[in-house]
Structure 1
C-alpha cells in the first residue's frame, strides 16, 4: 500500500472513531465496544475496497455490506457519514424518535444500508442470499458479511456458512470480529468458540487471520480473498473490544456504555481531543 493511501485510511479511521465517541456521548449511551473494534475495517472498506456511489446509494453496480452484528450500527453510520452518504449532523439523531439512524441498521431508513440487521444470526443468511443472487446475475460485485464472535453462538450462522461453502460463494467475504467479548462477558467463558480459523477451514473456507487494528493487513487480506476463485473465503479479525481507546479497552462492561459519570466523560473527551490532534497533524 502506498504511504499516501495508508495515511488517508488512518485519518479516516480516526474520524470514524471520533464520530462514534461523539455520537454516543451526545446520545448518552450506546453500543461502544463492538463499534470501536470495527473502525479500521470500515476505514479500509469505505476508503479503498468498496465499490459504491454515495450520491446514488442504490447504484446497481455497488458492492454490499451486511453488518450482521447490527448493534454495531454506530461504526457503520460514522463510516457512511464520512463517505458522504448523508450529513454528519444526522449522527446526533441516533435512536431519536423518527430518526433515520435507528439503534440497529434499517435498509428502509438509512442511505447506504442494504440489509436490516440486529436480530443476531440472520445477517449471515441474508448475505448468503444476496451473494447467490449476484452470482446468478453473473455480477462481479462483492458482499462483505461482518459477523460478531458472540453472534456465532447462533446456530443459524453455521448453517449459512455451510451453504456459502457448499456453493463456493467466493463473492461473499465473511469477516469475523473476534473481539473476545459479548454482552455477558468473555466469549470463552460463555460458549468457548475455540479456534475460528480451524473451524472455518473445516467448513471449507479459505481463511486468514489478521490484527484488526492493522490497516495494511486488513487491506491485503481482502485482496487475497478476492483472488480466491474456487472456494468460500473468510477473514478473522483479531480485535479488542473498545479498540483504539485504552480506557474503554480496559472497561469490562464496554458492550453498551452509559455516559452518566464524570470519569467516563473525561476519558471520552480526552480520547476525542487526541483524535482531533492526530487528524489535524496528519491532514497537513
Structure 2
C-alpha cells in the first residue's frame, strides 16, 4: 500500500490540480511538498479537508491507495455473502475451511462468519465454536454499533438461534444504531438496506422460534424509519419481508400473488436465495394455519 502523501499526489495529478488548488488554506506549500514525498504525516482533520478538495471519499482514497483494489478482508466478505445469497453452500464451506486458520485477522473473521451462516442454515442446534463465541462477544457486547457491526447484523441474528438471546432487544439495538446514520434527506452508507436485510433474518428467526405474537407485531418496526431511502434492492427485501409476514398474519392469497411477482424479478446475485426463502416460508405458513384450525 502506498504512502498517504504519495496517493494524494497521484490523485491530484490525475485530476490536473495544482498544489495551490488542493492545499491552499489547509497546509503550507512546503508542508504539501514534503507530504507528497512521503516525508510528513498529517492530522485527520486536514486530511479530510484535502480529500474534499480532491472530491474523493475516505473509502475511495483507501481503494486507490491499495492500487485500485478492495482490501483482502472486503474481497472475502463479498465472496462469503455472495455464496450465502446464492445458497451456494459448497462454496461457503470451502471459504470457511480455507481461511479458518489464516493468520490474517480479517480473513479468519470472515471464515468464522461463513461457518456461522453454514451452520445456521443446516444445523440449527449445533454447538458454537470458540471463534463463533468470540464473534458473538465482539458484536453483542459492543455498546454502540458503527457500520462494521451494522453490516454484521444478519450474522448476529443467525447466532441468536444458538445463544437463545432476546431477539426484540437486538432488533431495537440494530434500529437505533441505523437511525444515527440516516435521515429524511440522506442515507450515505445505505444503512436502510442493511437494516432491511437484518429485518428479513430477524423475522425468520422469530417465526422459526415460534414467537408468533412478536413476529406479528414486528411489521410495525419493519415499516418504521426512512423507507424512502431504500434502494431498489432494499425495496425488494422489504417486499420479501411483507410477503412472508402476510402468509402468516394477513391474507395468504394476497401473499401468493406477491410471491409470484417476486419470483419473476431477476436479480442475479440473490435470485436463488429469494426463491428458496419463498418456497420454505410458504410451506411453513400453511402448516401454521393448519395448526390454528385444529385448535
Shorter-chain-normalised TM-score: which range?
Answer: 0.3 to 0.5
Q: Which has the higher contact order (CA 8 A, sep 6+)?
A: 1
TM-score (norm 2): 0.31
Task: Compare the two structures and name the one with the higher helix fraction.
Answer: 2
Task: Compare the two structures and name the one with the higher strand fraction.
Answer: 1
Q: Which has the larger radius of gyration?
A: 2
